[in-house]
Structure 1
Amino acid sequence: MFLERGPSATTAEVAARAGVSEGSIFKRWKTKEALFFACMAPIPIADMGWIAKLPSRVGTRTIRENLEEIALEIVALFRLIMPSILMAQSVGEHHRRLGDFDTSPPIVSRKKLAAYLDAERKLGRLRAIDVDVMSRTILGSLFSFVHLEVSLAGQDPAPIAAETFVRGLVEILVSGAVPEGAPTKPKRR
């Protein structure tokens, strides 16, 4: 209900949607504000299944296959949590809520993905790159993709499927954008 109507949704509407009495809501949450922020809370790290799978992916399949699968799982998670992130940001509480964690989920995500990339690098499956930059690039690109998808809600005149975006992103990261042997200096016009 809060995702549809924001903070203006009433507790009666929330209770009706949940199929419970309004009184039962106030037994658990003392105020409407407490209920709202409980609904908008960041997802616990334990619920980020893609992170738990990272160690078992090291050295398996191809880097491209692993990164595409990881990225699609992250897109699915971002699609799930993006509405609540946007809602919490709209009332200025998102950063405060991230402070409820010892280490905020975005930082844990970045570090765990960087650790996976570093393990692949140590196996010689990635060249000597800054794995933190690559981790930030992946997560930032996927966050931006989902943010625009949710924010534009069908208004994008040329939307692309998540699978297409992920394949393109991974291709750029794995192969690079500049062909080998390309001139390093611009051509004169």
Structure 2
Amino acid sequence: MARRSVITDDQILDAARELFLERGIDVPTAEIARRAGVSEGSIFRRFPTKKDLFLAAMGLDGEPAWLVELDAFDGDNPRAALRHVGLTLINHFSSMLPCMMLVWSNREVKPHEVMGEQPKLMLERLITFFDRLMREGKLRFAHPEIATRAFVGAMSHYVFFEKMVGMHQLSAESYTDGLVDLFLRGLAPANVETSSKKAAQG
């Protein structure tokens, strides 16, 4: 007697992602099931709603591991921490760009309803991260949400100009290093800023 093949969640999610990107959010789950080689019922036993399936297929379910790691960063080296976060954001936005374009192209869909809680959670985690660096005196105290939005926005714009406009003058590493330097100069604690000026004058 032949053994039944075991279909993994990854096989379903791969098929779902392919079809969501090919056909849009409205692609029938029956077609996803056919491509994955399972019954439609098998999909809904694993993913109760189509939204659950979409979020999982697009990597929007749950909390990314890199967000959890923010709490472990050593505040004594803000440059290394910001560089790591910056490069991680570039990778994150690069992988999420197809999903974001898919959502934005559907006028009948409200992005905040489709994207789930992950974008909001990401911003909140990063605000907490910047706030911690400021309270520890590693960065000058400023509005942590404004600093966070500026940093995140700069990283998302790098991806936009690379992927959508085709600008490739700066590598992700060079861009991130330059932006981190800009941030650290602008948000340097007063004692660090004074020392830097004296060194430059001397």
Tell me the TM-score normalised to structure 2 length: 0.66
The RMSD of aligned alpha carbons is 3.3
SS in structure 2 opposite 1:91? coil
Matching residue of 1:43: 60
Matching residue of 2:178: 168
How many residues are paired up? 165
Greater RCO, CA 8 A, separation 6+: 1
Contact residue 21 and residue 99 of structure 2 kept, 8 A: no
Contact residue 83 and residue 180 of structure 2 kept, 8 A: yes
Distance 1:85 1:157, change over 3 A: closer
1:52 aligns with 2:68: yes
Shift of 1:135: 0.5
Q: Which amino acid aligns with 1:89?
A: W
User: Which stretches of structure 1, 4 residues or more, deviate above 6 A after TM superposition?
Assistant: 8-13
Instruction: Indicate which of 103, 124, 130 corresponds to 1:111.
Output: 124
Q: Which amino acid aligns with 1:57?
A: F
SS in structure 1 opposite 2:96? helix
Instruction: Indicate which of 43, 67, 72 corresponds to 2:82.
Output: 67
Distance 1:27 1:3, change over 3 A: closer
- Output the CA distance in 1 between the equivalents of 2:163 and 2:32: 22
1:138 aligns with 2:155: no
Contact residue 117 and residue 131 of structure 1 kept, 8 A: yes
Matching residue of 2:98: 83
Between the aligned residues of both structures, percent identity stands at 20
Distance 1:16 1:66, change over 3 A: same
- Output the CA distance in 1 between the equivalents of 2:94 and 2:20: 13
- Output the CA distance in 2 between the equivalents of 1:159 and 1:2: 33
- Output the CA distance in 1 between the equivalents of 2:19 and 2:51: 7
1:147 aligns with 2:157: no
- Residues 49-102 of structure 1 show CA distances to partners (whole Å, capped at 9, x for unaligned) of 221111111424x2111100111112222222221111122113223214x5xx
- Residues 149-186 of structure 1 show CA distances to partners (whole Å, capped at 9, x for unaligned) of 3334xxx2544221111111111111139x988xxxxx
- Unaligned 5+ segments in structure 1 are 182-189
Tell me the TM-score normalised to structure 1 length: 0.70
SS in structure 1 opposite 2:146? helix
- Unaligned 5+ segments in structure 2 are 1-17, 188-192, 198-202
Q: Which amino acid aligns with 2:133?
A: E
- Output the CA distance in 2 between the equivalents of 1:90 and 1:38: 19
